[in-house]
Amino acid sequence: MAIELKGLTKRAENYSQWYNELVVKADLAEQSAVRGCMVIKPYGYAIWEKMQQTLDGMFKKTGVKNAYFPLLIPKSFLCREAEHVEGFAKECAVVTHYRLKNDPNGKGVIVDPEARLEEELIVRPTSETIIWGTYKNWIHSYRDLPVICNQWCNVMRWEMRTRMFLRTSEFLWQEGHCAHATAEESQARTVQMINLYAEFAEKYMGVPVIIGVKTANERFAGALNTYTIEAMMQDGKALQSGTSHNLGQNFAKAFDVTFVNKENQPEYVWANSWGVSTRLMGALIMTHSDDNGLVLPPHLAPIQVVIVPIFKNDEQLAKITEALQPVLARFAELGISVKYDDDDKRRPGFKFADYEVKGVPVRLAIGARDLENGTVEVMRRDTLEKSVAQFEGIADQVAALLEDIQQNIYQKALKMRQARTYKVDSYEEFKQRIEDGGFFLCHWDGTPETEERIKEETKATIRCIPLDGEEEEGFCMVTGKPSKRRVIIARAY
């Protein structure tokens, strides 16, 4: 697994190329032989696992239970909800046969034409249809409600243009699907989950997000309302990082899922669904990383601290290793994941560059002289600052430093976003400034026509109507019609 450490394109030169190279150089993922599908490499997967564990714990605290539903969805299921099929049936992987056979011409194997399925099966692009087809059997009375299920799984959407983590044909995600007795309860869960995503993004990923509602155009196919968290990348583009959909009774009606309420009356069930995916990896990478490589938030870094001994011979190494034992023990007590890299086949300089490109938050280097002086060299990845610290109590110092880094990268990203969020009231000004990226707070007349025009003329979209936005009388920057609040417009991934 030789890594080319040098020659990472600079962000200012070509942000997109920097990203693509970084994903590979940091050993996170690579293109596979299958069009649009990636291989998530062990280092990348370790970050995703930390995300999963953290989110899963947060979910379970709110009463979520995990389950598993089939990968393949009968075509007829996908067609039951009218808007949903428009949104998802078009670009998808279709299973039509269930057998291969030897080619009579002796050229390997071919699809057996006699093994054609009566009804085609679709590799799930999302699971509302199969899940609501199942919930029909689970739900009869108000006593069966709520159902709060989630699954961690793979899904597939046949994307034309793919980029690792940001948009791949197959991706990993979680999808929560809830059934409630009342509209109010379902709405409350919808909002609860988008808030949970925001909390995760900010506290663990160090990624500041804006919580808002999508416009009708940008809604999930089949939803009454889609809530979103939107993050700003370093190039000023938006990245939709998680969504939560209030589905009303649409899927309950499509799959005839009713329950007998407390008044003994049949009623359709109220639904919501919510998900985040490996796309979060893209958000994580693009928010914090720099021209030297990845910068990881300590709360999600698989290796939080790397310790590199500097030694000329085995004797020196043995001394350093011995001196470090209580330090390693203390790190273990503190629950901090440490890699002690005493591999003698790689030189320290190579190791430094490797851990830098991999975004390990803190690097300690210690040599024979440090040992004599009772010191250790500390490098923090976020600022690349080096300092000399007292060896005594180093683990506790580093624990505090990790928290400092976590806060610092969040604040840095927040300041960047604040500095690049603009109130603009003139469409002419908007058209000029959108070229430089950023979030634009603008008045919009609320019509899909205007939204469409903005998109066509500027490649920017309405990211959301921010939930914490204040009411403010104004005029649509495009049509001059009245508007009651500003929306966020940006170019997006």
Residue 406: Cβ-neighbour burial (10 angstroms; 0-12, 13-18, 19+): buried
- Distance from C-alpha of 85 to C-alpha of 409, rounded to nearest angstrom: 41
Answer yes or no whether residue 7 interacts with a copy of itself by CB under 8 A: no
Residue 222: Cβ-neighbour burial (10 angstroms; 0-12, 13-18, 19+): buried
Residue from 14, 16, 62, 138 in contact with a copy of itself (CB under 8 A): 138
Answer yes or no whether residue 46 interacts with a copy of itself by CB under 8 A: yes
Closer residue to a copy of itself (CB): 155 or 239: 155
Answer yes or no whether residue 329 interacts with a copy of itself by CB under 8 A: no
Contacts (CB under 8 A) with a copy of itself, residues 226-285 = none
Chain Cα centroid distance, residue 436: 24
Alpha helix (H) ranges present in 420-481? 427-433, 448-458
How many beta carbons lie within 10 A of that of residue 267, not counting itself?
15
Residue from 16, 17, 141, 407 in contact with a copy of itself (CB under 8 A): 141
- Distance from C-alpha of 75 to C-alpha of 273, rounded to nearest angstrom: 21
Q: How far apart are the first and last CA of the chain?
A: 30
**Closest distance of CB 114 from a copy of itself, Å:** 13
Answer yes or no whether residue 87 interacts with a copy of itself by CB under 8 A: no
Answer yes or no whether residue 38 interacts with a copy of itself by CB under 8 A: yes
Taking alpha carbons only, the member of 429, 431, 435, 421 closest to residue 468 is 421
Answer yes or no whether residue 33 interacts with a copy of itself by CB under 8 A: yes
Taking alpha carbons only, the member of 231, 362, 239 closest to residue 295 is 362
What does DSSP say about strands 305-310 and 362-367: parallel, antiparallel, or unpaired? Answer: parallel
Answer yes or no whether residue 41 interacts with a copy of itself by CB under 8 A: yes
Contacts (CB under 8 A) with a copy of itself, residues 58-77 = 65-77
Answer yes or no whether residue 332 interacts with a copy of itself by CB under 8 A: no
Answer yes or no whether residue 133 interacts with a copy of itself by CB under 8 A: yes
**Closest distance of CB 170 from a copy of itself, Å:** 5
**Closest distance of CB 85 from a copy of itself, Å:** 6
3-state secondary structure of 133: helix
Residue from 17, 96, 325, 432 in contact with a copy of itself (CB under 8 A): 96
Answer yes or no whether residue 348 interacts with a copy of itself by CB under 8 A: no
Residue 143: Cβ-neighbour burial (10 angstroms; 0-12, 13-18, 19+): exposed
Answer yes or no whether residue 353 interacts with a copy of itself by CB under 8 A: no
Closer residue to a copy of itself (CB): 96 or 407: 96
Closer residue to a copy of itself (CB): 39 or 384: 39
Closer residue to a copy of itself (CB): 6 or 345: 345
Residue 339: Cβ-neighbour burial (10 angstroms; 0-12, 13-18, 19+): middle
**Closest distance of CB 471 from a copy of itself, Å:** 42
Answer yes or no whether residue 144 interacts with a copy of itself by CB under 8 A: yes
- Distance from C-alpha of 292 to C-alpha of 5, rounded to nearest angstrom: 9
Angle at which helices 394-419 and 279-288 pack, to 10 degrees? 90
- Applying CB under 8 A, the site for a copy of itself has a residue count of 71
Closer residue to a copy of itself (CB): 79 or 191: 79
Answer yes or no whether residue 342 interacts with a copy of itself by CB under 8 A: no
Radius of gyration of the CA atoms of the chain, in A:
26
Task: Please report which helix (H) or strand (E) contains residue 173, including its range.
Answer: strand 170-180
Chain Cα centroid distance, residue 2: 27
Sheet holding 362-367, edge to edge: 338-340, 305-310, 362-367, 375-380, 386-390
Residue from 5, 9, 20, 32 in contact with a copy of itself (CB under 8 A): 32
Answer yes or no whether residue 143 interacts with a copy of itself by CB under 8 A: yes
Answer yes or no whether residue 451 interacts with a copy of itself by CB under 8 A: no
**Closest distance of CB 152 from a copy of itself, Å:** 9
Closer residue to a copy of itself (CB): 67 or 318: 67
Answer yes or no whether residue 100 interacts with a copy of itself by CB under 8 A: yes
Stretch touching a copy of itself by CB under 8 A, among 11-19, 127-135, 201-209, 268-276: 127-135
Residue from 109, 183, 329, 384 in contact with a copy of itself (CB under 8 A): 109
3-state secondary structure of 140: coil
**Closest distance of CB 224 from a copy of itself, Å:** 23
Residue from 10, 16, 34, 448 in contact with a copy of itself (CB under 8 A): 34
Closer residue to a copy of itself (CB): 147 or 489: 147
- Residue 268 near residue 145, CB atoms below 8 Å: no
Answer yes or no whether residue 347 interacts with a copy of itself by CB under 8 A: no
Closer residue to a copy of itself (CB): 121 or 424: 121
Binding mask 148-177 for a copy of itself (x = CB under 8 A): -x---xx-x-x-----------x-x-----
- Distance from C-alpha of 481 to C-alpha of 471, rounded to nearest angstrom: 16
